[in-house]
Amino acid sequence: MKRAVFPGSFDPITIGHESIIKRALPLFDEIIIAVGYNVNKKGYFSLENRKNWIASVFEDEPAVKVDHFEGLTIEYCKRMEAKYLLRGLRTAADFEYERAIAQVNKAMHEGIETVFLLTMPEHTPVKSTIVRDIIRNGGDASKFLPKGMNIHDQKG
């Protein structure tokens, strides 16, 4: 079973994340979208909301599972018996950051391969930080959020 973990904050999930996951589906048997959680850095939206939104976006996709983890991503991958880490790349800055993490992960755990997908050009500027700022200031962020996801249904 080719199982990949897509780790991230997903605070909240955006059309950028959604597109990477959909495009990665033909490559793997199962993709676990794993919300990295840090008790000292709780994030903007609650863990529960972040997971519920992801689950609702992929409710018709049995190959997508939603989970969360604390601690090292690589330890989580070992626990889940996932040999692949999925990440998206938007810019050269993303690449530099991701390169170091992927190389260190590989050094720590030989059995892992990080698979990168380049963002669709139209998603390059989409990031959770900007979406959060729009929402925080009462703006309409819906064009950056997956279809059918109603962020106003649930309190952050």
Catalytic residue IDs: 17, 41, 90, 128
Residue 73 touching ligand ADP (CB under 6 A): no
CA distances from 118 to 69, 85, 98, 114, 149 (A): 25, 14, 12, 13, 24
Out of 4, 5, 12, 17, the residue judged to bind ligand ADP by CB under 6 A:
17
Gap between the Cα atoms of 108 and 7, Å rounded? 17
* Span from 22-30, 47-55, 77-85, 122-130 in contact with ligand ADP (CB under 6 A): 122-130
Q: Cβ(5)–Cβ(35) under 8 Å?
A: no
Contact range with ligand ADP by CB under 6 A, out of 6-14, 43-51, 76-84, 148-156: 6-14
- The verdict on 9 binding ligand ADP (CB under 6 A) reads yes
Minimal distance, residue 105 CB to ligand ADP, in Å: 13
**Under the criterion CB under 6 A, does residue 10 sit at the interface with ligand ADP?**
yes
Residue 138, judged by CB atoms within 10 A of its CB (0-12, 13-18, 19+), counts as exposed
In the complex, least distance from residue 128 CB atom to ligand ADP, rounded to whole angstroms: 5
CA–CA separation, 88 vs 137, rounded Å?
27
Count of residues of this chain found to bind ligand ADP when the rule CB under 6 A is applied:
16
Strand, coil or helix: 118: strand
